[in-house]
Amino acid sequence: MAIGNLETFFTKSASETRKLGEVLSQELRGGEIICLTGELVLRGLKIKGPYTSPTFVVMKHYKIKSQNFSKVRPFPSPTSRGIPQGQTLNVYHIDCYRVKSRDIIELGWKEIITGENNIVIVEWAERMKAIIPSRAIWLEFEHLDGDARKIIINSKFKNQNSK
C-alpha cells in the first residue's frame, strides 16, 4: 500500500481500525515520524502489550527487529535508507498531552527524530507542531457513528478548526 500526500480510510469497527493500523505499521522501516490524533498503532509493529498511553511517563521506548520490507517506501523519509531484515529498530512512543515543546526537546527530541533506525509515534502532536519536522506523517482519527472511524493520512498537519 503506497501512501501519498493524502489518503482517507473508513473503518466500521474497532477491529477494522486495528487491522488498518497493523497494515500501515508494516510499511514503516525506520526514520519515520508518525503524528497521531487518535488511537495507537503499536500492535502492528509486533510490540507486546499492554498498549497503554505513556501520558504519565511521557515517553516509552521499545526495541523491535526489522522485517523484510518491499523496496517501495510509502512513507517518505529522507533519513532512512531502509533497514536490513533482523536489525534492531527503536520505537519511541511519546505523549505530548501534559508537556510543552521544551520538555520534549530536553528528552533528546533532535537525536530521536534524526535516527535512521528510529520510528517515532507522537500522540497529541498538534500541541508540538512547532517542533515537528515537515517530513512527518499525520494520522487524524475522526469518530463517526459507533465504532466507525474516518482516518486521514496526510503529510501536513490539518488544523481541525479550518474544516
| Residue 76, in any domain of the structure | no
The count of domains in the chain is 1
| Residue 161, in any domain of the structure | no
Which CATH number do you get for residue 148? 3.40.50.300
pLDDT in tens, 30-42: 888 999 875 445 4
pLDDT in tens, 90-143: 999 998 888 899 999 999 999 999 998 899 999 889 889 999 999 999 988 888
Residue 104 and residue 113 in contact, taking contact as beta carbons nearer than 8 Å: no
**In this model, does residue 57 exceed pLDDT 60?**
yes
| Residue 78, in any domain of the structure | no
Residue 36 and residue 152 in contact, taking contact as beta carbons nearer than 8 Å: no
Q: What is the 3-state secondary structure (H, E, C) of 91-118?
A: EEEEECCCCCHHHHHHCCHHHHHHCCCE
Angle among Cα 19, 52, 34 to the nearest 5 degrees reads 60
Range of the domain at 22: 6-67+86-155
pTM over 0.85: no
Share the mean pLDDT of the chain.
76
**Rounded Cα gap, residues 35 and 59, in angstroms:** 14
Number of C-beta neighbours around residue 105 at 10 A: 12
